[in-house]
Structures are given as C-alpha cells and as structure tokens.
Amino acid sequence: MNKIDELFSPIGEIIAGNPNTPAGVIFKDYNTGLTVHRVILNAGLGGDEKNILLFADTHFACLNERDFAENNPLVIESYNRRRVHFKIEKCCDNVAKIMRFAPSFDKTALLGDSMDFLSYGGLEMLSRCVLGDYPDTLVLVGNHDDTRIAGHKGVDPTDRASREQILAGVIKNDIFYHSEMLSDKLMLIGLNNCHRRYTEYQRERLERDIQAAREQGIKIIIAQHEMINTGREEDARLPSMYMNSEWCYKSAYNFYNGNDKIGAQRDNECTHAVYELICSSADVISAIFAGHWHNAAYSEINASYLKDGEAIKAVIPQYVVASAAYDDGFMTVLTVK
C-alpha cells in the first residue's frame, strides 16, 4: 500500500469514480470530513514515486486594519457584496484540515483563487493558513487574486503591475512561471493563465523545460488555475465528477472548444503557441491539474508527440480540482509512479 493511502485507510464513502481508472476515485474521508480525489498516475518513473497534494479556490474574503486604513472603495464594496460564505472562518478551517496532510507529501500546491479579491486581509489569511508553516507551497495566481473588484462593477485605479507586485511580495514562488524538480525524473511546472492567456515569458521557459525533459527522460506535471480545451467533440458537455453541495452552478461544461478557456479561436498568437506546445508534448507532459470551476472533473486533451519525425496521437489527462472553500473541504491526492 502506498504511504499516502495509509492516511485514508480504510477508504471512506465512495462518491464517484473508480480507483483503477485514470479518472481516479472521489471519496469522503471519515476522519476529517474532507472530500478527497485520489489519482494514481503511471508516468514511468520506476520506483521513485512522488506524492503531490493539490487544492484550489479557497476564496479568502476578509479585510484587516490596513485595508480599512487604505479605504479603497472598490475593496470595501467587494467585501460587502461577496458571498457571505467566503467571509467566515470555515474557509480557513477547511484549509487547516488540508494543510495538516502537507508534511506527508513531496509537494503541496494551491491552484489559484486563494483570495476572493486582492486585499491585505486576504493575503494575511493566505500567509497564516498556508504559507506560515509551509512556505514552499506552490501558490498559483487565479483570476480573483489580482483584482480588487468582485461582485460589482468599477474601475480599479491601480494597475495590474502594481497588484502583481503586491502578490509577489507574499507568494514565494514566481507568480508567472514556476519550475522545480521533485525528483531526477519528475518536474512540476506552475503556469499563470488567470487571464485566459499565456505570455512570451512563459512560452520561452516552457519550451526550454520541455526540451530538457526530452533530453533527460523527465516527465512533467503542469499546474495552473484555468482549464484548457480538449479538442474532443464528446467534451462539449463534460459532466462534473463531483459538485459541492453549496455550489450548484453548471453541472457540465464545454471543454471541447469553449471561448472561456484557452484553446479557443479567440486566443492571441502567443497563447495559441503555448497551447499548441502543450498539446504537441504528450511524450513528456503526463497530466495537467487546474481549479477555477469549483467542481471536480476529468478530461483528456487531444495531443501528440513526434517520434522519428512522425506525429503520434496521444492524450494528456486533465484534472479539475474542486473548491476547498465549500462543505468540509476538498483536495486532490496525486501519486506519480
């Protein structure tokens, strides 16, 4: 038995999926109440398996004294108009339950939307609940994290660069592109795609990492906030594997060619280039993990790779991690073999 499976033995009530399939199994952990998506990925690492803990969309919505002193009307209005659910300590309680498992894993990653809107109170909560005891946690930026407007309309007088600078002052990893080796055969890459786009900075680094992976026999796991289109017609209405009881928005989603995801016709040139780079690297990219939807899902991206100059068709598994903010919390538990 894998050492991680021992943490959940005996397995709790099964909600969806099958542990013997690539989609994995979702179950309720009897001890903590957490909903757990257990995924085992056979990437050909041999005996050097690695375990990664992933969670997403904590949506901390809180203000502290610095926010009230700044008195930015957009931030105050965002707090007043946001869902009451995100303002309560339960969100932090759920994260505390998740983070108690962190010492058992080789890496922990928060896949964006740690805050409901950018506030100093939200950053304080992120620091206290996640980064305080585990500063090496990979924290990705989501579409809520770098805006001060949520739940209402307005024009933010601060520019994006200044907001990104605030985030970079708290989050320890590069907020645009993060790459690290979890073993000599497994690389974890964190991509910021929170505005449904990729940048030239990311393209250059991803190309370099993929080339190095091919030369050295390394497998790559990509973590990002937003899902990407699969290019598979059967995914035009992809059902969720799991929906939080407090989040009932869209039980199915267009993963085929939806304009609200990367891989749509509206992509700019650089975003399209990165998307094509990912989809043509199935020989080294073993899986993609994202958040954003608040539900859990499994899909497979139409992909390929070159072998002796010939394009070989393949798929890249894509997992969507449900929001940790609802019910008693949600996390995805990944073992890469």
Render pLDDT for 57-88 as a digit per residue (tens, 0 to 9).
999 998 999 999 999 898 988 888 876 666 66
- ∠314-272-144 over CA atoms, to 5°? 105
- Interhelix angle 200-216/269-279, nearest 10 degrees: 20
Helix (H, G, I), strand (E, B) or coil at 7: helix
- DSSP state, residue 233: G
CA distance 316 to 310: 18
* pLDDT given at position 88: 64
Does residue 89 carry a pLDDT above 80?
Answer: no
User: Which residue do the tokens 């590069």 mark?
Assistant: 174
The b/e string for 264-300 (b: 16+ C-beta within 10 A; e otherwise) is beebeeebbbbbebbbbbbbbbbbbbbbbbbbbbbbb
How many CB atoms lie under 10 A from the CB of residue 158? 14
> What pTM did the predictor assign?
0.96
**Residues pairing with 183 in the sheet:** 186
Alpha-carbon distance of 84 to 234, in angstroms, equals: 37
The whole-chain average pLDDT of the chain stands at 93
Predicted confidence (pLDDT) per residue in 177-227, tens digit: 999 999 999 999 999 999 999 999 999 999 999 999 999 999 999 999 999
All domains of the chain in start order, with CATH? 11-336 (3.60.21)
How many Cβ atoms are within 10 Å of 189's Cβ, its own excluded? Answer: 22
